[in-house]
Structure 1
Amino acid sequence: MSNAYIDILAYFGIGGAHPGGFSLTQSILETENIPPTHSVLDIGCGTGQTAAFLAERFNCQVTAIDKHPVMVEKARQRFKNNKSSVHVVEGDIQNMDFVDNSFDLVIAESVIVFTDISKTLSELSRVLKSDGTLMMIEMVAEQYLSEEKQQKACSLYGINEILDKDEWLLRLHQAGFTQVEIISTPSVLLQSEINDINPSENIKMELFDLWEKHNEFIFHNRDIIGYRAFKCRKV
């Protein structure tokens, strides 16, 4: 099923569109010990900005997966241009072909909320090694959302629900992540600075209109909807 907001990111070729942007990604990952022997999975990889950083900075084994064919093509183009060894897969993160216990680290940047959250978390728990780590940045309700606000946000982003912090923690525990740390970051949802872009030709005008609605929504609801960065383990 198509998601118009994801289409924006794909056709505009926006890297680092998640809350906090690529600078947050770098600051979080720089504190991690990721040896070259580690196998890393970047889910919802988009155009491959984070996967490229992982491969270049840590020289680790990186697999990047995304469901959107335009995203996958642009990621492959990025890795072909920089001769990266990142393995790009087109697939559904809710039902991946990887065997159990495949990865030491899984990265998810504003991805899980666009899926069946419980199903995806269970799938990530399955492919993650028993001593592995899930690093995720996700949208969070900072206070009670009226039904009208919920419907507006879900319609705009093509999502099913917006969880608060405690609901995220509960879903993570239900999926088998027994050790969850909330990484200290600013929680206010602001428009991320965009400095990595690879636009397609002939982008439909309605995608520009939807991008404006997205910016307007963030501006008017930044005290109500924020984000958190989670570090999760199955230990």
Structure 2
Amino acid sequence: MTEKRHLTAEDLSNVWKDNNNTCASGLKLDFVEHLLKQHLSQEWIDAKQRVIQIMKLDQFDNSQEIKILDIGCGLGIDLILVAEEAIRLGKTISIVGLDQNSTLIEEAKKLYESKKDSLTSNVSIKIIRGDILQMEFDDETFDIVRSDNTLLHVDLSKALMEIKRVLKVNGRLIALESGGGDIYSSDEIMIKTYDSVLPSRRDGGTAIRLQFMLPKMNFDIKDLNPIVFLQSGHFLASQDKDWMKIRGMGDILVTKGALTKDESKDFQRRYIEACETNQILAAFIMFIIEAAKRK
């Protein structure tokens, strides 16, 4: 294989933007299916419950309306989880779900419509489409900003500036983001290809970058909560219906000039075979970072 350029995080994240969820080649990706499968994973269920606990809604005064922003709200599942926790605690909350992808916004609205009759009057949920980097909210609006696996898809510095702007003083960012991790396989050729074209993971991932960036941007990091994820090849296969994700990856690799069509096909074939024979392992760490905005 000839020397190829590495893709950037932006190359991979652009497909999530509001472009009909379609790669440049015309291959359509089903993000709804992908996110639904992700949320069924026990590791993700446990992580989401820990995020709810770290939000510490019980520490707010009962007379206060807690204002929460969920950036990259996706299917809206987390909006409902937070609402249910507020109801359990008898808290009054106003939640805004923000996402740039219109398909996911419509799905979130459908979920809310199906659940709203079970919500109490002390819970308000609003779901809107918008850009995380240019949010149309007033300064110091929110008590909590949540980000679940969202900040890796955007310019991190710009996103943090906007988050800081819309947070109240002492308001908290609670971010579930990926730290260090990698995939491992007995297929050395596939791994060599993977390492040669995908974004370098030397910076440790979004969560590690946040730990260095937040203190410089007037945040105090209150806590770091690491969660280890180990995913077998069979599990990875179960998360990728009809191999749409790896096919989408292959399309991007070709479109961006990282691999030729033949190299991309070989990479996809090897990855799929490694999953089906359980000769691959994904190992990574997620961090739940709690950080408070200083005065």
TM range (shorter): 0.7 to 0.9
Cα distance in 2 for residues equivalent to 1:5 and 1:180: 39
Higher strand share: 2
Provide the alpha-carbon RMSD of the alignment.
3.9
TM-score (norm 2): 0.60
Given that 1:180 and 1:231 are in contact with CA atoms closer than 8 Å, whether structure 2 keeps it comes out as yes
Note if 1:17 corresponds to 2:76.
Answer: no
Cα distance in 2 for residues equivalent to 1:100 and 1:71: 26
How much has 1:150 moved relative to structure 2? 6.3
Residues 178-220 of structure 1 show CA distances to partners (whole Å, capped at 9, x for unaligned) of 234202x4333548x9xxxxxxxxx99744744996995xx84
Structure 2 match to 1:105: 144
Number of positions where the alignment pairs a residue of Structure 1 with one of Structure 2: 216
Higher helix share: 2
How much has 1:173 moved relative to structure 2? 1.8
Structure 1 match to 2:229: 188
Cα distance in 1 for residues equivalent to 2:246 and 2:194: 22
Note if 1:229 corresponds to 2:288.
Answer: yes
**SS of equivalent to 1:17:** helix
Note if 1:82 corresponds to 2:115.
Answer: yes
Structure 2 match to 1:170: 212
Name stretches of at least 5 consecutive residues in structure 1 with no aligned partner.
194-202
**SS of equivalent to 1:134:** strand
Distance change in 2, residues 1:48/1:165 (3 Å): closer
Structure 2 match to 1:197: none
When Rg is computed on C-alpha atoms for both structures, the one with the higher figure is 2
Note if 1:2 corresponds to 2:15.
Answer: yes
Note if 1:33 corresponds to 2:56.
Answer: yes
**SS of equivalent to 1:188:** strand
- Equivalent of residue 162 in structure 2, options 113, 123, 137: 123
* Matched residue type, 1:10: F
Distance change in 2, residues 1:41/1:234 (3 Å): same
TM-score (norm 1): 0.74
Cα distance in 2 for residues equivalent to 1:164 and 1:48: 22
**SS of equivalent to 1:140:** strand
Distance change in 2, residues 1:166/1:30 (3 Å): closer
Name stretches of at least 5 consecutive residues in structure 2 with no aligned partner.
1-13, 88-92, 183-191, 236-240, 250-267
State percent identity of aligned pairs.
20
